[in-house]
Chain A
Amino acid sequence: MTLARRIVTLLGLPVVLVATWWFLSAGSTDFYRPSLQRIVTAFQQTWFSERLVVDVLPSVARLAVGYLIALVIGIALGMMIGANRWLRALCEPVLEFLRAIPPPVLVPIIMLVAGIGNTTKVIVIVSGCVWPVLLNTVEGVRGVDEVLADTCRSYRITGLNRWRHLVLRSASPQIVTGARQGLSVGIILMVISELFAASSGLGFTIVQFQRGFQIPEMWSGVLVLGLIGVVLAQLFTIAERRILAWYHGIRSSQREW
């Protein structure tokens, strides 16, 4: 694909949607549905200010910390549980139970234990992100190819080498799938964690605008959330391309045959 075509494919639909919104909402007098022009003006005034440092960055930082902790816990536990049939049988009912609990209902409980600071918010994010990562890792580890496992045994590739070069890499396509699901859960929980007993943050600010009837500002906050989602998804795709280069390579070489 040429560069021009790529840019058109990438930006075509967003441009059309924004333009449609712009013209349909132009001159709107509806208080709750302001024109996009007013939202954009509010966007500039609201977010190109110290709010970016005071509200957006802390939110994103908490998301990053919570997400990374969830990745580490999910992958480590998932590899252990996936590799051990006995442990898997033991953990399965508990995992199903814990996974079924929506993290938002845990917020007050976590708050009782961890207070109302950053810790609670990070724990909320972790408690939601960890499940897709964990469960996908378990499945990925179970799917290790037996011939490859035999190869490791016969060449005495054991211990840490085996975990690193066989188990982790075999499971990586599924780990990445889980991590992608975890990321979208994380963005939702980033907002939700700031709805309770918070004094700053993106979610907090959006709710403040809503309660103060600053409707264009509220809409602009929603746009910020969407844009954060887009940027994170792009970063994720870049990371995925590096980690799973081999996997996509196999798939495209199979399509060629």
Chain B
Amino acid sequence: MLEVQGLRKVYDGHGRRVEAIADLTFTVGGGEFACVVGPSGCGKTTLLRCIAGLLPPTSGQVRVAGEPIAVVFQEYGRSLFPWLRVAQNVELPLKAAKMPRAQRQRQVDEALAAVGLADAHDAYPWQLSGGMQQRVAIARAIAYGPSVLLMDEPFAAVDAQTRADLEDLIRSVWQRLGVTLLFVTHDIDESVYLGQRVIVLSSAPTRVVENIVIDLPGERDQLTTRADPRFAELRARIYAHIKKLPSQRAEHGSTHDLSR
């Protein structure tokens, strides 16, 4: 379970105060798949970094029941170690956690098989396509055995077909592992297709606008689900929310950059 309570983040720097996150409170239940959408520059990445413990919040709390947390970053090319082979990349966090070799080996094999890369153990990440690199990052997260999985716009930089494949992959992984999954995206369709619930954020300073339960059937399919009238309704509802928000992009667009 993941609980975010009264989270607030203010960046202070270069004589400028930017309130990236005003006040966020939400809960993701154990084993739930929740998506976070919002207009660009709304502090989605900041939120995720606060939850992952990479950034201290200005105030408020993040409570995570169960350990560990795994993160899949948007920049797959920069989040894999280019000097390690695929299997070594997946293995490194387990090595750091001092897991015995035999168990490590087994978890690496399983995780790579789960993402369809059973025969890529010995490749270097940069020898793979973008989509395959992101699969390696997902395999690394799975192998880590997390109780909470955080994903920061993981498919934003891959082409449409690969993206569809990866969406289905992540749903099957989630169903198999039963992890609590928080998936940040700016793509409304993706959020409706993937999650059980969509948390819609306002533009910065960020608040929760609405919590929408996605009551689509559990078995989803790129063709039938996206053609479902209910899909269109949910999509329109979220779209209306985001459209209604005053556009503050020009003013706050840099909050995202400030966080790195």
> Which residues of A does B touch, CB under 8 Å?
145-148, 150-151, 153-158, 161, 165-166, 169, 172, 246-247, 249-250, 253
Contact = CB atoms under 8 A, between A and B. Distances in A.
Interface residues of B, number: 27
B96 A158 contact: yes
Contacts of A253: 126-127
A154 B70 contact: yes
B92 A155 contact: yes
5 contacts: A146-B260, A147-B73, A155-B140, A165-B81, A166-B81
Given A155-B96, A161-B95, A161-B96, A169 B81 contact: yes
Contacts of B70: 154-155
Contact of B71 (A154, A158, A161, A250): A154
Interface string B36-72: 0000000000000100111000000000000011110
Contacts of B71: 150-151, 154-155
A212 B41 CA distance: 78
Interface of B: 49, 52-54, 68-71, 73, 75, 78-79, 81-84, 92-93, 95-97, 124, 126-127, 140, 144, 260
B124 A157 contact: no
B92 A145 contact: no
Contacts of A154: 52-54, 69-71
Contacts of A172: 83
Contact of B75 (A147, A156, A169, A250): A147
Nearest to A157: B96
A127 to B, nearest CB: 31
Nearest to B75: A147
Contacts of A250: 82, 126
Given A154-B69, A154-B71, A246-B124, A147 B96 contact: no
Count chain A CB atoms within 10 A of each CB in B71, B75, B96 and give the residue with the most: B96
Contacts of A145: 78
Closest 5 pairs (CB-CB, A-B): A155-B93, A147-B78, A246-B83, A154-B71, A157-B96
A247 B82 CA distance: 8
A172 B81 CA distance: 13
A250 B124 CA distance: 9
A217 to B, nearest CB: 48
A249 B93 contact: no
Given A148-B79, A166-B81, 20 more contacts: A145-B78, A147-B78, A148-B78, A150-B54, A150-B71, A150-B73, A151-B73, A154-B52, A154-B53, A154-B69, A154-B70, A155-B93, A155-B140, A156-B93, A156-B96, A161-B95, A165-B92, A247-B83, A250-B82, A250-B126
A159 to B, nearest CB: 9
Given A146-B260, A147-B75, A246-B83, A155 B144 contact: yes
